[in-house]
Structure 1
Amino acid sequence: MSVLPAAAAAGASISPVALFLQADIVVKTVMIGLLAASIWTWSIIIGHVLRMRRLGGANERFEQDFWKAEDIDTYYTAHRASELPSARVFLAGVQEWRRSTKGPAVDRTGTRARLASIMGSAADAEMDRLSDKLNILATTGAVAPFVGLFGTVWGIMRAFTDIAAQENSSLAVVAPGIAEALFATALGLFAAIPAVIAYNRLTHGLNRLEARLHRFADAFHATLSRELEAE
């Protein structure tokens, strides 16, 4: 008798689909949860990367055009509906400037303090908006390995139960349960590793953008301060 059909059957029995179908309901639930977490993680990663690339170029062009603009009021009117982070910091600064300087007597010290506070808050609000859902990546990276480990422990317990029930400790009896258990661990790592790497990289990019926003806010604040001194 040829051993090739038996080898082929053994190879098919340890395919991911076969391992899932052979697992009990607890391990299946763990596997489905980890796969769902992985899909959700990748959707967040891809969406965030595309958004940051789009915003990065547009934000840089906005700042370059702003420093070339000759009239702040005209530039404000043209960009008052913009959703770019730098634009929102700029809009918040102009709005506070108008409120603080519309009276006959201008409190220069108070105006400077309010401008710094308002633009700093606008920059922080933009970072909160852009960092939305990144906490999901951190949670997935921290929790997924332990969820996979739970599936592994449960699968190994089931394998030992089968040994006791069949009174047979041969590899043929033990291997399927252990394979299912280890597959759960692999799925946990499959979900966790990209989440951790992406969280670190995306957080680094957000930190750079935050520093850029605050530099823009400081430079615009200095411009408005010079306008106060000229009045």
Structure 2
Amino acid sequence: MPVLLQSAAAQVQALPEEAAASATELSATGAAAAATAPLPNDLSILELILHASIPVQLVMLLLLFASISSWVIIFRKKRMLDRAEKEADRFEERFWSGAEISKLYASATERNREIEGLEAIFEAGYREYSRQRQRRGVDARTHLEGAQRGMRVAGARELDGLEANLEYLANVGSIAPYVGLLGTVWGIMISFHGLASVKEATIATVAPGISEALIATAMGLFAAIPAVWAYNRFATKVERVATRYEAFSDEFSSILERQSGTD
């Protein structure tokens, strides 16, 4: 009897060790299965966009259109401002090289030739000046005022062309982040609304919906940042060109005033 009791006790003491060993094997097997299982976060950005809700997709489409149109305006505006600065440099070099004003005016009024920038301002001012001089009984002050008025109108027309579409860049830069935020909020609302039918909510359940919603905010920033940068840069260039136009108008007015006094 004592021998039987000792063997039974030995078997009872061995049970916890066997249970621990089996638990260790199960945990190792589970870890290996988890390591080999595919991760749920391998979705691409394109798949997240395609699987987003309709309102979020509409927001993304609107932001994509705003971004593309902004870049088109940026490239066109850069070429326009660069051309305006080069044209101003060329005409000022010709004007201050000692060429006669009448010859410059004849060159500006040639047929089938488009003029812009400083040359257009010069042509408008000298044309109005010549027209006033042909009128009888008009004093020199009236001649000069007519030339200045013509140059102001031509300068305003030129600056209006340079400033075109800058307002669009400003609007995209200020509104696009809020439009992207609207898509993000809407996507997050839909994601949390879908959790009502899920018994156990996990990060894997919520992550795809939140990820596709955050893409809208990223697209809003992608559209806004270049637009804001381009607007600030182009607005500064337009102000610099406007200063050059005003300075040339004042200098040309002084030349016409001296010419009127001489005549």
TM-score where L is the length of structure 1: 0.93
* Aligned match of 2:97: 68
Where 1:105 maps in the other structure, the secondary structure is coil
Where 1:185 maps in the other structure, the secondary structure is helix
Q: Are 2:232 and 1:200 equivalent residues in the alignment?
A: yes
**1:165 Cα deviation (Å)?**
2.2
Q: Are 2:62 and 1:30 equivalent residues in the alignment?
A: no
**1:4 Cα deviation (Å)?**
6.0
Q: Which runs of 4+ in 1 moved over 6 A?
A: none
Where structure 1 has 5 or more consecutive residues not aligned to the other structure, the ranges are: none
Q: Are 2:209 and 1:177 equivalent residues in the alignment?
A: yes
**1:180 Cα deviation (Å)?**
1.0
* Aligned match of 1:138: 170
**Preserved contact between residue 125 and residue 149 of structure 2 (Cα < 8 Å):** no
**1:167 Cα deviation (Å)?**
3.2
**Preserved contact between residue 129 and residue 143 of structure 2 (Cα < 8 Å):** yes
Where 2:41 maps in the other structure, the secondary structure is helix
**1:2 Cα deviation (Å)?**
7.2
Q: Are 2:221 and 1:189 equivalent residues in the alignment?
A: yes
Question: What percent of counterpart residues are identical?
Answer: 38
Larger Rg: 2
Query: 40-49 or 108-117: which moved more?
Result: 108-117
Q: For residues 109-159 of structure 1, give each alpha carbon's deviation from its aligned partner in whole angstroms, at most 9, with x where no partner exists.
A: 222222222212211211111111111100101110111011011001001
Q: Are 2:144 and 1:112 equivalent residues in the alignment?
A: yes
Amino acid at match of 2:254: A
Cα distance in 2 for partners of 1:105, 1:68 equals 34
Where structure 2 has 5 or more consecutive residues not aligned to the other structure, the ranges are: 1-32
1:87-102 equivalence runs, <5 A: 87-102=119-134
Cα distance in 2 for partners of 1:18, 1:91 equals 59
Change in Cα spacing, 1:150 to 1:107, as seen in structure 2 (3 Å) is same
Q: For residues 175-214 of structure 1, give each alpha carbon's deviation from its aligned partner in whole angstroms, at most 9, with x where no partner exists.
A: 1111111110010011011101110011000000000011
Cα distance in 1 for partners of 2:208, 2:144 equals 71
**Preserved contact between residue 59 and residue 84 of structure 1 (Cα < 8 Å):** no
Cα distance in 1 for partners of 2:94, 2:195 equals 73
Amino acid at match of 2:55: V
* Aligned match of 2:41: 10
Length, aligned pairs only: 228
**1:166 Cα deviation (Å)?**
2.0
**What RMSD over aligned residues (CA atoms) do the two structures have, in Å?**
1.6
Cα distance in 2 for partners of 1:149, 1:25 equals 15
